[in-house]
Amino acid sequence: MAKKSSSFCLSAIFLVLLLVANTGMVREVDGALCEKPSLTWSGNCRNTQHCDKQCQSWEGAKHGACHKRGNWKCFCYHAC
């Protein structure tokens, strides 16, 4: 009888942990943004607001920003 009870408790704990782990993973993926170099920007990126507007209107991204990666480039942020 005690063996069935402890086995049931361990199974219940395992299922609860599994559900909690899955819930956390879904939240991260839903809100995740992936950074990609802009396909439409040319030259050095000096104005983040212009980069942001171009990424949104021309490339359908959530937003954009200038970052220095060697040279200053415009990066667009899309849903992963």
Q: What is the pLDDT of residues 1-45, one digit of tens each?
A: 556 666 665 666 554 444 444 433 333 456 799 999 999 999 999
- Architecture label for domain 30-79: 2-Layer Sandwich (3.30)
What are φ and ψ of residue 78, in 5° steps? -110, 155
* pLDDT at residue 31, as a whole number: 77
d(CA 34, CA 50): 19
CB atoms within 10 A of CB 72: 15
Which one has a higher pLDDT value, 48 or 3?
48
Q: What's at 38, amino acid-wise?
A: S
Q: What is the pTM of this model?
A: 0.61
